[in-house]
Structure 1
């Protein structure tokens, strides 16, 4: 079988982990099955070395301007140098040219800026790292920026949130190219217990800092996290905070940009996802522990948040581990 050709576009101040997650994950295919492999090259302006954000220097393997198709997968890395790359007409022009000769086009993290500058995201849904999503949306209003998923596919164009989500995107490529079994073997080789679906949220609500500058809101969110199986109605939470339900809702909207009810539902679904991927508890037990009235109520909330059923989410976690 001819190798699937992958060209990774790098530039100064690119994120090394973006590049490594994709290249190392794809190269693992060759190590598991020598009959299958990706032909991977790092293309840089002029073919010279690039200095990554971390200060480490990578040697280019090919000059971007000399690359010719056909290409299986074109990947544009992200990094703090993305704005300079997006403003560089040579880089953008060659990415636009190579995209026409590629079966699949992808960006990692802020590399979405380069794809957007090349017009490749016009009219498409795309994601990027949550810290830079607003900047991308303002700079390119013709792009439907969604900061929530870890990666998004729109036609043959893929955008990922970057950093470790680049690994998840690479695993999805392997599954599409060589099947789910090989993708699971690579997942094990990479010591990642879960091949996350693209619609999983970039950031758990429990790792996102709450409004630490408002003691009352922090008290209520701490109470929610510690008692998901209790009465977490807006009225009950308002009694805890000693304010009216209306005032509590105003505070949540001001500091967390959502209502208390929405925050509670998301907290319960997030906790359920954690239990599904790390325990063998029955779905009904997980539902009860997370405060859902029934397994069916959990299924409905889970499908609304993640787009898949709890059993499907668990199946992915189990087979990938």
Structure 2
């Protein structure tokens, strides 16, 4: 088993103390993704590290992860009398055991009582829920654990789709890399958007995913539904010909089928009509252009085949619950 240790620079002002809680069999990326964000966020006023980070567990010592790497941790008891700015409970397969471990739950509750903000990454939400910290709150977790969260903790208002949710001082995030999105949003709230963008750029990631966006990749969803690749070339063709009039007859011709037979087979396999599929691809391409190009909203709408800005706005509101203007303003990449 490989282990690692890292010296993390601490800010002169210790008020932004971030305490991570781990336990055996966590997902390594659940921890190191947000840890990397907080460790490299600079205070815009002092230019020093904006946060002091600590990785803790109930008893301290080396903690196994879901990889060949084990991680060192401090005893969480060291922080029970400290002022904690942000508490982050990490997820992983071990969460199913941790949520029934009274030592873990007592520790999380004690730390949460000292914290200004409480967060979870992935299935860490199960631990927060078991500790009673999500009662009456909106919450999200990895899509594969949403049913467990809803069934075991009926007082939690589980939402399946969002990347992360902020409900008061409690934040929960979806699967794995969503923890990075949440951490960047926390940095933006604490230190300003510019500081968060600097971290995103250094990590070669995008600050383009808002909490309200879906944790499900539309492209991956299509690939999973179309496991045989029957419509893969069609989807690529649609994305490259969005300015055309993509009626069902035109789509059917691309796969050498009658319009009626194509519509029936496509809807049965993909779970949505061809027209809805075209709109989804138009929105995906528009999102990318809004976040990475200098095209005007009118130009993006035309490029993606929406014909006018209002039609694109309505499609965005239906699907993303945000307008193209707000999407670009808030979530475009660095």
Q: Same fold (TM over 0.5)?
A: yes
Of the three residues 156, 164, 168, the one matched with 2:177 is 164
Q: Which runs of 5+ in 2 are unaligned?
A: 1-12
Match of 2:99 in 1: 86
User: In 2, Cα distance between the equivalents of 1:222 and 1:5?
Assistant: 47
- Equivalent pair of 2:140/2:159 in contact (CA under 8 Å): yes
Given the superposition, is the C-alpha separation of residues 36 and 222 from structure 1 closer, same or farther in structure 2, using an over 3 Å criterion? closer
Asked whether 1:26 is paired with 2:63, we answer no
Bigger shift: residues 48-57 or 140-149: 140-149
Given the superposition, is the C-alpha separation of residues 99 and 233 from structure 1 closer, same or farther in structure 2, using an over 3 Å criterion? farther
Asked whether 1:14 is paired with 2:30, we answer no
Query: Equivalent residue of 1:198, what SS?
Result: coil
Match of 2:275 in 1: 261
Given the superposition, is the C-alpha separation of residues 64 and 292 from structure 1 closer, same or farther in structure 2, using an over 3 Å criterion? farther
Deviations 1:141-190 (A, max 9, x none): 33232222211111211111142221221111112112222222222232
User: In 2, Cα distance between the equivalents of 1:251 and 1:284?
Assistant: 31
Asked whether 1:283 is paired with 2:272, we answer no
| Cα shift at 1:12 | 0.7
Bigger shift: residues 262-271 or 307-316: 307-316
Match of 2:202 in 1: 189
User: In 2, Cα distance between the equivalents of 1:248 and 1:137?
Assistant: 35
- Equivalent pair of 1:151/1:199 in contact (CA under 8 Å): yes
Of the three residues 42, 48, 59, the one matched with 1:46 is 59
Query: Equivalent residue of 2:103, what SS?
Result: helix
- Equivalent pair of 2:40/2:49 in contact (CA under 8 Å): no
| Cα shift at 1:243 | 5.3
Given the superposition, is the C-alpha separation of residues 169 and 52 from structure 1 closer, same or farther in structure 2, using an over 3 Å criterion? same
Query: Equivalent residue of 1:206, what SS?
Result: helix
Of the three residues 221, 228, 248, the one matched with 2:263 is 248
Match of 2:137 in 1: 124
User: In 2, Cα distance between the equivalents of 1:299 and 1:5?
Assistant: 41
- Equivalent pair of 2:21/2:57 in contact (CA under 8 Å): yes
Deviations 1:81-124 (A, max 9, x none): 11111121211222133223321111001111111212222232
| Cα shift at 1:235 | 6.5
Match of 1:150 in 2: 163
Q: Which runs of 5+ in 1 are unaligned?
A: none
| Cα shift at 1:273 | 0.5
Deviations 1:46-98 (A, max 9, x none): 11210111121111123358634532111100112111111212112221332
TM-score by structure 1 length?
Answer: 0.86
Query: Equivalent residue of 2:86, what SS?
Result: strand
Query: Equivalent residue of 1:49, what SS?
Result: strand
Match of 1:103 in 2: 116
Match of 1:135 in 2: 148
| Cα shift at 1:222 | 5.5
User: In 2, Cα distance between the equivalents of 1:173 and 1:268?
Assistant: 30
Of the three residues 65, 71, 77, the one matched with 2:84 is 71
Query: Equivalent residue of 1:61, what SS?
Result: strand
- Equivalent pair of 1:229/1:290 in contact (CA under 8 Å): yes
Aligned CA RMSD, in angstroms, stands at 2.8
User: Which of the two has greater helix per residue?
Assistant: 1
- Equivalent pair of 1:133/1:147 in contact (CA under 8 Å): yes
